[in-house]
Structure 1
Amino acid sequence: MSGFIATGTNTTAPYPITNDGFWPDIDGAHVRGSLRIDGSVTDARLEVAIVNALIQVNGELSAVKKGYKAEGHDTLEAVPADEIKGISLLVHLYRRSIYCAAGAELTERYRSYDTSTEGNKNADELTPSVDEYRRDARFAIRDLLGVPHSTVELI
């Protein structure tokens, strides 16, 4: 057995993943840093996860986009909203939904690469992270939709 562990290299140079013009572009390097994704996840794998998140989230928020555009806002940044660190709360929520959806996909995919006993133990430990990423993405989307985090119905 070797003591060598391949972790790849982290890319710190920003690389934008262009969006549709209304929703903000996403910087892959910022996603990597924010989610503490190490170099074992290549930029190509990270980009695929981000693009999948963009497709999913943009689809879920299509009605919100139509509403804002009908009000005359060409971008999410142009929609009046409170700001934190000079950035619209709406942009923060949108980015959170993308980052968490991509993080959930990457964490879930990571489980399938090591099927040893140690790998299974690590996968079991990652399960809450996948669920937490999905929850956080869902909460951010629901906040952007302006609906409560929980839906309760009596059957």
Structure 2
Amino acid sequence: MSGFIAGGVPTTAFPISNSDFWPEIDGQHLRAAMRITDAVTDDRLEVAAVNAMIEANRELAGYRTANEAKGFTTLADVPAEQINGESQLLHLYRRVIYCSALAELVERYSSFDATNSGEKKVTEEETSADQLRRDARKALRTLLGLSHTTVELL
């Protein structure tokens, strides 16, 4: 993932709009929070974020429907504890999007080298993408009020 750390970070703001219930995503906040440099263009970052938003919104469709039935028109309206002056649900939603988007970028920007060091780098990046997906899944389950562990007796 070192390709995302080195280099500059663009400062031109760009919002990524969402449906009415879900918050828009600030592309520059995503870039800064996840340490994504200008090696990834705004267009590519937007594509990854939009894909993450589509998947998250699809998985959270039942949650949205249930809360809209209770009269809440946005995620920010759903009662929740505040952290840093904002609903913890908004923080969790952004974490789902940020981690999912970066996981996609890590996979798409992976480089391959036939040497052992190149193989090791690809393996590290795959692990990193898996870790990011795990973090996204954990945030999604927390948002839904579900346990992070599923145990089934056979």
TM > 0.5 fold call: yes
Alignment of 1:6-155 (within 5 A): 10-111=9-110, 113-117=111-115, 118-155=117-154
Cα deviation per residue 1:104-128 (whole Å; 9 max; x = unaligned)?
A: 11111112x4444344332122222
Shift of 1:29: 0.7
Amino acid at match of 1:139: K
Name the % identity: 52
Q: TM-score, normalised by structure 1?
A: 0.89
CA distance in structure 2 between the partners assigned to 1:17 and 1:83 by the alignment: 23
Amino acid at match of 2:79: P
Tell me the SS of whatever aligns to 2:89: helix
1:8–1:42 Cα contact (<8 Å) kept: no
Counterpart for residue 3 of structure 2: none
CA distance in structure 2 between the partners assigned to 1:98 and 1:8 by the alignment: 23
Any gaps of 5 or more consecutive residues in structure 1?
1-6
CA distance in structure 1 between the partners assigned to 2:8 and 2:30 by the alignment: 15
Cα deviation per residue 1:51-94 (whole Å; 9 max; x = unaligned)?
A: 00000000000000001100101000111111111010000000
Structure 1 runs (4+) greater than 4 angstroms displaced: none
Tell me the SS of whatever aligns to 1:37: coil
Q: CA RMSD in A?
A: 1.5
Any gaps of 5 or more consecutive residues in structure 2?
1-5
Q: TM-score, normalised by structure 2?
A: 0.89
Counterpart for residue 4 of structure 1: none
Tell me the SS of whatever aligns to 1:65: helix
